Amino acid sequence: MPALVRNRSVPNIVVSNADYERLTDLATASLERLPEVATELLEEMDRARIVSDGSVPANVVRMGSTVTFRSDDGRQLTETLVYPVDEDSDAHKISVMTPVGAALIGLAEGQSISWTARDGRSHRLTVEKVRQ
The pTM (predicted TM-score) of the whole model is: 0.90
pLDDT in tens, 32-61: 999 999 999 999 999 999 999 999 999 999
Say which CATH number the domain at 87 has.
3.10.50.30
pLDDT in tens, 103-118: 999 999 999 999 888 8
Neighbours of 11 (CB within 10 A): 14
pLDDT in tens, 57-102: 999 999 999 999 999 989 999 999 999 999 999 999 999 999 999 9
Question: Alpha-carbon distance 103 to 37, whole Å?
Answer: 10
Domain that holds residue 71: 3-131
